[in-house]
Structure 1
Amino acid sequence: MNTTLLIIAAVVVVGLVLYFQYQAHKKKVAAFTALASERGWRYTERDRGLANRFLGTPFGDGHGRDARHVLTGTFRDRPMLAFEYSYKETHGSGDDRRTETYHYTVVSLGLPAPKPTLQVNREGLGRKLLGLVGVRDLQLESEDFNKTFHITTENDRFAYDVLHPRMMEWMLADQRALSTPFRFERGDLVTWDQCKIEVSNVDALLNYLCDVVDRVPSFVWKP
């Protein structure tokens, strides 16, 4: 096969890839538009301002940060936000230079009142908290919980109030808690999953966050 045919073949392959990517994107936009219409939510195809919406994991890394497929509205009577967050990291140099793109599904609920930062995730998983002075690790009374989860907070009293014995018992028994981190950050409870957002995974994350908030004692929200 001569050079001309190789170039033509390469162009055809690239064209097909771009075509199928466009069709997949179109289908995704239609699915989210339909979901938003059905729920009375708002759908925005892209909002780069959300790339700096939160401070901790998975935000703040890399370059080319972006936010797509943004859903806003209410869920179980709480303000909600869901979107696909992405950023890029460039590694190597010269011929070995390569750029990788990382995608996350990010979901949050609005809280009754702003609260100190508290992040809970599986022990050994990402612990990055950006730009937060005074955030530190915390050990609770339950050895099983400490072995399973990693807790970082800027206010011990708030962490103890949220992670009371019944909450810890529930999290140790709930499979979602074993794979789904969460963070109280200012006026939001946020979670994230390293995957592209799909209609099928929004409700599961929203329900988990609602179940967490439902188990927070009501006195926590009082001034």
Structure 2
Amino acid sequence: MHALDVPTWLDALVGMQMGAAVFIGFVALVGWVFAKLVSPSLDREAAKLARLQAGAERYGWQPGEDIGGRLAAAGARCFEDDGELRRLLVGEYEGRRIEMAEFVTVEGGKLPTTVVNNLVAIELPAGLPELRISHDQVTPPSLPPLEPVLQTSDTESDAFNQRYFAASLDPRYTSAMLHPRMIEWILAHPPQDLRLVGNLLVAYTPKPWTVPHTLATVPLLSGIVDRIPPFVLKDFGVGSVS
């Protein structure tokens, strides 16, 4: 008997199909192993986050409204990107209104990634010019800006200058806000990025919102408001809060 001659094209096709089957099987195996190894870790992280986000009502924090969209606008300034508020809660601390929420943004093009940040804000008695106190320096625009750019200014404290970059539209305003007692108060607390937008002083963090972080942050914000000199509110204020 003569061996059956198999056409070259058919032999190649069978080889391709077998190769594809092996590749698909390998991918499935990797996916199974990944799920077995990573899923428990993700489940533990989700459970831990749920515990850290539980119990807000014990502190009088209840679902509320973003008045005039001001917290969302402040979040866009803090993270320099549009986003949506999630888990918005409002409350009161030492007679001042406080607000907190997750600020969710989307990054990437064809494969977008959801990024969850958080905002904790306290209300001021009047609106003030924007002030940014952060660990990142203001990035100069690559094109002519559509609006005035914040100017970074050094303070009289080397310790503060080593930890933070302070910026506003007017170095005199930055200096008036960051007087020695204010600087001492900020340095006495764990590092935290801050931004004053309108009549909200906002602490912003690139992590999901939690109760412990909020409990630690609200006293810092309230102490900053306590230390704003009256002349700053008078000379730079842009209107009282209704």
* TM-score where L is the length of structure 1: 0.70
Aligned to 2:178: 163
User: 1:75 deviation in Å?
Assistant: 1.4
Aligned to 1:207: 219
Aligned to 2:127: 114
Task: Report if the CA contact (8 A) 1:70-1:84 is conserved.
Answer: yes
Q: Percent identity?
A: 24
Q: Deviations over 1:137-195 (max 9, x none)?
A: 212333443333211101333222211122223434x242xx20111111110111111
Of 181-190 and 97-106, deviating more is: 97-106
Aligned length: 201
Pairing 1:101–2:114 present: yes
**In the aligned structure 1, how far is the partner of 2:54 from the partner of 2:159?**
43
Calculate the aligned-residue CA RMSD, in Å: 3.9
User: 1:51 deviation in Å?
Assistant: 4.0
The AA in structure 1 aligned to 2:79 is: P
**In the aligned structure 1, how far is the partner of 2:98 from the partner of 2:146?**
24
Q: Are the structure 2 counterparts of residues 157 and 169 from structure 1 closer, same or farther at C-alpha, using a change threshold of 3 Å?
A: same
Question: Highest CA radius of gyration, 1 or 2?
Answer: 2
User: 1:80 deviation in Å?
Assistant: 0.7
The 5-angstrom pairing of residues 68-147 of structure 1 reads 68-90=86-108, 98-122=111-135, 125=136, 127=138, 132-147=147-162
The AA in structure 2 aligned to 1:81 is: E
Aligned to 2:16: none
Q: Are the structure 2 counterparts of residues 126 and 146 from structure 1 closer, same or farther at C-alpha, using a change threshold of 3 Å?
A: closer
**In the aligned structure 2, how far is the partner of 1:141 from the partner of 1:33?**
41
**In the aligned structure 2, how far is the partner of 1:186 from the partner of 1:128?**
22
Q: Are the structure 2 counterparts of residues 197 and 132 from structure 1 closer, same or farther at C-alpha, using a change threshold of 3 Å?
A: farther
Structure with bigger strand share is 1
Determine which of 38, 48, 60 is the counterpart of 2:81.
60
SS at match of 2:79: coil
Task: Report if the CA contact (8 A) 1:69-1:84 is conserved.
Answer: yes
Q: Are the structure 2 counterparts of residues 34 and 140 from structure 1 closer, same or farther at C-alpha, using a change threshold of 3 Å?
A: closer
Segments of structure 2 that go 5 or more residues without pairing to the other structure are 1-20, 238-242
Aligned to 2:59: 39
User: 1:110 deviation in Å?
Assistant: 0.6
Task: Report if the CA contact (8 A) 1:57-1:128 is conserved.
Answer: no
Segments of structure 1 that go 5 or more residues without pairing to the other structure are 92-96
**In the aligned structure 2, how far is the partner of 1:66 from the partner of 1:54?**
9
